[in-house]
């Protein structure tokens, strides 16, 4: 560390230079991220309240109350009543919290197992590693739908939890949550829905008239949901969300930290100190946008998704991997040829997409920062790459 401090201007200049290598959302090159730049008003609110610490809700009681209000409001959006939960650092933390609860509520199972679709996010593997739970993966069919027969065959007396995804990471598809619910009825198995991406898409798509099968607390076996403000909620990075339909679980599965100034309280977070600013910012974003504001944003994203799907269909040798339900689109080759080289070429031209080798697809996420002219530039490069690689 240097002896004397530097001037602010100089530091800002150094930072500007050092951070030049990062990608930025405005350029449109970020085509494979499920995060986006937070809403400006959210940033404003966050800056004002970034010293609030929800790790000690006794000190920041009003912020804690606001979080509960926010959770209840989002719970209602997900068709639940008296939903409790918490804003987390992201979908990974929320999923790990759900896995821990699924394990905790079944102390009778010595070797607990959780069944997830093969399309489930890596966070379930992380959770399994951390807690000594086995994760079993249910196969997908050729059309990327969940193979329900295989899913059912994995359920045994060791199953403490099952997971359905509402907005898969690779393709934005929605698992048949009602069918999963039927499989575990009366079996004392915890059903968690990972809607980290879809949580702030599906309710608005439904309002826009899309046919969306029940995926949320309308399915009465659903115990908890992950849904992330920092994805399609346009919240501050990082902010995820965990939503639970049974308050009593907190009493036997909650941690307690007795020494805090505000006194002991039960919680299920993995972290201790956690930001109140992100919570307050998302409360403000929900109030500011309302249903109509979110619908407008989702409609623009879906229009862009349909536009890109149409343009890809015009390119010989390529096809969309599956019809998009939400604003995620998978590109694959018509012949089944590997998509890896295509992704390498994109990176050379600065386009940053997601590559899913296990499904041989590259993924475009049509986030709100992706605009029509970015897509036109992308399609131009894509056509050139297809010619260069002689894909047919
Ligand atoms: C379906 C799903 N769940 C969980 C996550 C993990 O979210 P995070 O990166 O916020 O931890 C992702 C990330 O893309 C996701 O797509």
The Å distance, Cα 197 to ligand 1 centre, comes to: 7
Q: Which pLDDT score, from 0 to 100, does residue 169 have? A: 97
- Choose the residue to mutate in 130, 170, 228 for probing ligand 1, maximizing ligand atoms within 8 Å of C-beta: 228
Cα–Cα distance, 82 to 72 (Å, whole number): 6
| Ligand 1, CB within 6 Å, residue ranges | 34, 90-92, 95, 121, 123, 165, 167, 169, 194, 196-197, 228, 240
DSSP bridge partners of 227: none
- Choose the residue to mutate in 89, 98, 121, 227 for probing ligand 1, maximizing ligand atoms within 8 Å of C-beta: 121
Residue 265 — left, alpha, or beta (φ > 0 → left; ψ -120 to 50 → alpha)?
Answer: beta
Structure tokens of 187? 């079996």
Closest residue (by CA) to atom 5 of ligand 1?
A: 91
- The pTM assigned to this predicted structure is 0.97
Q: Which atom of ligand 1 is nearest to the CA of 230?
A: 10
Q: Which pLDDT score, from 0 to 100, does residue 251 have? A: 83
Q: Which atom of ligand 1 is nearest to the CA of 92?
A: 11
Instruction: 124-133: list long-range contacts, CB under 8 Å, 24+ apart.
Output: 124/95, 124/99, 124/163, 126/92, 126/96, 127/95, 127/96, 127/99, 127/100, 128/99, 130/96, 131/96, 131/99, 131/100, 131/103, 133/99, 133/102, 133/103, 133/160
The residue to which tokens 């998302």 are assigned? 282
- Choose the residue to mutate in 116, 130, 169 for probing ligand 1, maximizing ligand atoms within 8 Å of C-beta: 169
Question: Would you say the C-alpha torsion 93, 32, 236, 24 has a positive or negative sign?
Answer: positive
Residue 191: name the closest of 148, 153, 160 by CA. Answer: 160
Sequence-separated (6 or more) residues with CB below 8 Å from residue 368: 36, 234, 297, 300, 301
Q: Which pLDDT score, from 0 to 100, does residue 257 have? A: 81
109: helix, coil or strand? coil
Domain with CATH 3.40.640.10 in the chain: 40-287
228: helix, coil or strand? coil
Q: Which atom of ligand 1 is nearest to the CA of 231?
A: 10
- 137-141-145-147 Cα dihedral, nearest 10 degrees: -50
Q: Which pLDDT score, from 0 to 100, does residue 266 have? A: 84
Cβ–Cβ under 8 Å, residues 224 and 244: yes
The Å distance, Cα 196 to ligand 1 centre, comes to: 6
How confident is the prediction along the chain (392 residues), in pLDDT tens digits per residue? 999 999 999 999 999 999 999 999 999 999 999 999 999 999 999 999 999 999 999 999 999 999 999 999 999 999 999 999 999 999 999 999 999 999 999 999 999 999 999 999 999 999 999 999 999 999 999 999 999 999 999 999 999 999 999 999 999 999 999 999 999 999 999 999 999 999 999 999 999 999 999 999 999 999 999 999 999 999 999 999 999 999 899 887 888 887 777 777 788 889 999 999 999 999 999 999 999 999 999 999 999 999 999 999 999 999 999 999 999 999 999 999 898 888 899 999 999 999 999 999 999 999 999 999 999 999 999 999 999 988 87
Sequence-separated (6 or more) residues with CB below 8 Å from residue 379: 308, 311, 312, 315
The Å distance, Cα 53 to ligand 1 centre, comes to: 24
Q: What is the fold, at CATH topology level, of the domain defined by 40-287?
A: 3.40.640
Domain with CATH 3.90.1150.10 in the chain: 8-38+292-389
Closest residue (by CA) to atom 15 of ligand 1?
A: 169
Closest residue (by CA) to atom 16 of ligand 1?
A: 169
Q: Which helix (H) or strand (E) holds 242?
A: strand 240-244
Closest residue (by CA) to atom 10 of ligand 1?
A: 90
The Å distance, Cα 5 to ligand 1 centre, comes to: 39
170: helix, coil or strand? coil
The Å distance, Cα 156 to ligand 1 centre, comes to: 27
CA atoms within 13 A on the CB side of 213: 13
Cα–Cα distance, 249 to 268 (Å, whole number): 10
Cα–Cα distance, 157 to 349 (Å, whole number): 51
Q: Which atom of ligand 1 is nearest to the CA of 168?
A: 1
Q: What is the fold, at CATH topology level, of the domain defined by 8-38+292-389?
A: 3.90.1150
CA atoms within 13 A on the CB side of 162: 28
Sequence-separated (6 or more) residues with CB below 8 Å from residue 287: none
332: helix, coil or strand? strand
Cβ–Cβ under 8 Å, residues 300 and 366: no
- Choose the residue to mutate in 123, 167, 224, 242 for probing ligand 1, maximizing ligand atoms within 8 Å of C-beta: 123
The Å distance, Cα 387 to ligand 1 centre, comes to: 34
- Choose the residue to mutate in 30, 32, 33, 34 for probing ligand 1, maximizing ligand atoms within 8 Å of C-beta: 34
Q: Which pLDDT score, from 0 to 100, does residue 107 have? A: 96
Cα–Cα distance, 109 to 134 (Å, whole number): 12
Q: Which pLDDT score, from 0 to 100, does residue 94 have? A: 98
Q: Which pLDDT score, from 0 to 100, does residue 365 have? A: 98
């Amino acid at each position: 560390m240097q002896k004397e401090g530097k001037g602010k201007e100089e530091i800002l200049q150094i930072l500007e230079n050092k951070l030049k290598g990062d990608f930025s959302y405005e350029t449109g090159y970020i085509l494979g991220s499920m995060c986006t730049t937070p809403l400006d008003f959210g940033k404003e609110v966050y800056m004002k309240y970034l010293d609030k610490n929800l790790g000690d809700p006794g000190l920041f009681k009003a912020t804690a109350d606001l979080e509960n209000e926010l959770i209840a409001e989002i719970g209602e959006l997900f068709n639940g009543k008296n939903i409790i939960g918490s804003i987390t650092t992201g979908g990974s933390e929320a999923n790990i919290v759900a896995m821990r609860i699924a394990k905790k509520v079944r102390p009778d199972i010595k070797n607990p197992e959780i069944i997830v679709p093969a399309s489930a996010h890596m966070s379930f593997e992380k959770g399994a590693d951390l807690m000594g739970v086995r994760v079993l993966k249910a196969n997908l069919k050729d059309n990327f739908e969940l193979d329900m027969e295989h899913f059912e065959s994995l359920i045994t007396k060791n199953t403490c939890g099952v997971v359905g995804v509402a907005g898969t990471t690779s393709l934005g598809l929605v698992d048949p949550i009602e069918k999963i619910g039927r499989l575990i009825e009366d079996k004392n198995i915890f059903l968690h829905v990972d809607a980290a991406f879809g949580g702030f898409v599906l309710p608005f798509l439904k309002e826009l008239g899309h046919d969306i099968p029940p995926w949320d607390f309308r399915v009465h076996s659903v115990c908890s949901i992950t849904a992330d403000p920092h994805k399609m909620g346009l919240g501050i990075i990082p902010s995820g969300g965990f939503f639970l339909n049974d308050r009593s679980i907190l009493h036997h599965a909650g941690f307690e930290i007795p020494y805090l100034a505000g006194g002991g309280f039960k919680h299920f977070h993995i972290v201790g100190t956690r930001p109140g600013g992100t919570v307050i910012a998302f409360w403000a974003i929900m109030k500011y946008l309302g249903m109509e504001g979110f619908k407008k944003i989702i409609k623009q994203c879906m229009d862009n998704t349909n536009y890109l799907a149409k343009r890809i269909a015009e390119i010989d040798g390529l096809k969309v991997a599956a019809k998009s339900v939400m604003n995620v689109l998978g590109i694959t080759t018509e012949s089944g040829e590997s998509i890896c080289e295509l992704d390498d070429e994109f990176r050379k031209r600065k386009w940053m997409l997601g590559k899913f080798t296990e499904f041989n697809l590259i993924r475009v996420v049509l986030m709100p920062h992706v605009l029509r002219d970015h897509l036109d530039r992308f399609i131009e490069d894509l056509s050139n790459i297809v010619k260069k690689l002689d894909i047919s």
